[in-house]
Amino acid sequence: MARFSLRQILAHAVLLGGAVLMIYPFFWMWRASTQAPGQIFGSLHDVPPILASIADNYARALFDSPLPRFMLNGVIMTGGILLFQILTTVTCAYALAKFDFRGRRLIFAIVLISLSVPAQATALPIFIVLAKFGLLDTYTGVMIPYLTSGFAIFLFHQFIRSFPDEILLAARLDGMSEVEIVIRIILPAMTPAIAAFSIFSITFHWNDLYWPMIVIRSIDLAPPTLGLLFFRGQEGGDSFGPLMACATLITAPLILLFLAAQRRFVQGVTMTGVK
């Protein structure tokens, strides 16, 4: 039994060691955001968080930089994208799952094809069209490539297919229209799938750097990722504390969301594995 417990200890040592490596960057970021300029490097581990430095760094991040603006932009873009994605995909998934019509297979084929086309591959034509219509450097421009999601359609379709036909038939016999059915029966039943997809979508678009980097020029419209780079570029090396405070504040919403809904989060993001 002694060997067994030694093995257990070893397993835990490996797991814990890895866990420390995973967490350390977050810890370091937070620690750096609590230090005064002179104390950040070198004696990092001896200095406890300094309240005055925390106040100073976070105040500079929040009030001297457009960080609140970046966060608001991020919320608007991420929220707008998610709203449109749900609006356009639920009805489409319902139609694909529960109706037989000419064109169904074509639509389904296109949904499947879209799953393996990375967003970066379509960037240039969309950019050209946006430029033509004067939509570069707008919220709309950021949101346009993501107004619908083949992935959501595929996922919701799988989900709705297992929904009992009898209930739908009963609803129809009761005189419910299809629109009512979608709103009053399908949507409520789909909450788990929609929640999982929302988390996936929010994570992806809050973190996205590629597309905003192409579309957004003005600092006022930058989402958090791009804003952080603007901020880093503008400030000199002495504002390291505020920079780390910015980084912490930008990372925090997703971390809090993640801690609040871990199961669903893991589900939502690993669904990309199904793609």
Partner 1 sequence: MNTRSDAKLNAGAMRTAEWSQASLARAFSAPAFILLIATVVAPVFIVLLISLTDYRLGRITLNFVGLGNYTRMLADPFFWSALRNSAIYTAIVVPVSVFGALCLAVLLDGRRRSRRFYEIVYFLPVTSTLTAMSIVWSYLLNGHIGPLANLFTALGLPPLDFFADGTLALIGLAIIGIWHLIGFNLILFLAGLTVISGELKEASALDGMDGFWDRLRYLTWPLLAPTTIVVFVLSCIQAFQVFDTVAVLTNGGPYGATEMLLHKINTDTFTGLKAGYGSALTVVYLVLIGAFSLVQVAFGNRKAHF
Smallest separation (angstroms) from partner 1 to the CB of 135 = 13
Please list, residue by residue across 1-16, b when 16 or more beta carbons sit within 10 angstroms of its beta carbon and e when fewer do: eeeeeeeeeeeeeeee
Q: Exposure of 24 by Cβ count < 10 A (0-12 exposed, 13-18 middle, 19+ buried)?
A: exposed
Smallest separation (angstroms) from partner 1 to the CB of 46 = 12
Task: Give dist(CA 266, CA 260) in Å, integer.
Answer: 12
Smallest separation (angstroms) from partner 1 to the CB of 205 = 11
Q: Examine residue 217 and tell whether it contacts partner 1 (CB under 8 A).
A: no
> Which of 209, 217, 220, 234 is close enough to bind partner 1 by CB under 8 A?
209
- Taking CB under 8 A as the binding criterion, the range among 46-54, 57-65, 140-148, 187-195 that sits at the site for partner 1 is 140-148
What's the one-letter identity of residue 98?
Answer: K
What's the one-letter identity of residue 120?
Answer: Q
Smallest separation (angstroms) from partner 1 to the CB of 115 = 8
Smallest separation (angstroms) from partner 1 to the CB of 170 = 10
> Which of 71, 73, 81, 150 is close enough to bind partner 1 by CB under 8 A?
150
Subset of 222-241 contacting partner 1 (CB under 8 A): 224-226, 228-229, 232
Gyration radius of the chain over CA positions: 24
> Which of 39, 138, 140, 207 is close enough to bind partner 1 by CB under 8 A?
207
Subset of 91-130 contacting partner 1 (CB under 8 A): 91-92, 94-96, 98-104, 107, 110-111, 113-118, 120-128
Please list, residue by residue across 134-170, b when 16 or more beta carbons sit within 10 angstroms of its beta carbon and e when fewer do: ebbebbebbbbbbebbbbbbbbbbebbeebeeeebee
Could you identify the residue written with the tokens 């393996």?
A: 116
Residues across the chain: 275
Subset of 44-83 contacting partner 1 (CB under 8 A): 44
Q: Examine residue 247 and tell whether it contacts partner 1 (CB under 8 A).
A: yes
Q: Exposure of 54 by Cβ count < 10 A (0-12 exposed, 13-18 middle, 19+ buried)?
A: middle
Decide whether 190 or 247 has the Cβ nearer to partner 1.
247
Q: Which two tokens stand for residue 209?
A: 């750097």
User: Site for partner 1 (CB under 8 A): how many residues?
Assistant: 98
> Which of 65, 203, 222, 242 is close enough to bind partner 1 by CB under 8 A?
203
